[in-house]
A and B are shown apart, each in its own frame.
Chain A
């Protein structure tokens, strides 16, 4: 079966760095997406990785290792507005997105 695993909840301090991990087992791989979802709002696109390595976009970076079936989202200089759920999704061989349950990130002052 297809499976995406990520921690249910994480807590971090304002100004700090946090890493949210995602491991996956899917039938085929056509890229990995990270989305951010604030409570009561729509998920919004953060990043896309299809090749191994690190993609940096401002305070957010995303890493992929296809051989390990592993990705992480790195958030630097945390701000209170970063409190949200972070969803990991993998595009399988049928170009359908398989979603993780999301990681709720709580930022404390």
Chain B
């Protein structure tokens, strides 16, 4: 049990669909992250929230829209995605600070048809 949960675990969607990924952390952390993991590529940081405020947006296309209603929940809203967006989307949390390890959820395996 990692303390970070993600739903759904698997998602197949068409390019015109709208869907949302959900992440919840039960660790009392104040920083949350969205990553994209593609096969044989490094983890790509997408968004960072510290104390519910977005502090990083690494040139992510606008078809990905994050939402952080409170320090325990993080959403990634998806709209008009492309097949190349198919990947594993990982959520992580940590205590905001320099050297604090990140705890990861199990990820959502997304396939865009």
Contacts and interface: CB of A to CB of B under 8 A. Distances in A.
Interface residues of A, number: 24
Contacts of A8: 40
B43 A42 contact: no
A7 interface: no
Interface in A22-79: 30-31, 33, 40-45, 48, 50
Nearest to A4: B42
A101 B42 contact: yes
B106 A41 contact: yes
Which label, helix, strand, loop or mixed, suits the secondary structure of the B interface? loop
Contacts of A95: 98
A100 B106 contact: no
B110 to A, nearest CB: 14
B104 A44 contact: yes
Interface in B41-68: 41-45, 48, 56
A43 B41 contact: no
Which label, helix, strand, loop or mixed, suits the secondary structure of the A interface? loop
A51 B44 CA distance: 26
Interface of B: 2, 4, 40-45, 48, 56, 90, 98-99, 101-107
Given A87-B43, A96-B45, 20 more contacts: A4-B42, A30-B99, A33-B101, A40-B106, A42-B2, A42-B4, A42-B90, A42-B105, A42-B107, A43-B90, A45-B101, A48-B101, A50-B99, A89-B43, A91-B99, A97-B43, A97-B45, A99-B44, A101-B41, A102-B42
Interface of A: 4, 8, 30-31, 33, 40-45, 48, 50, 87, 89, 91, 95-102
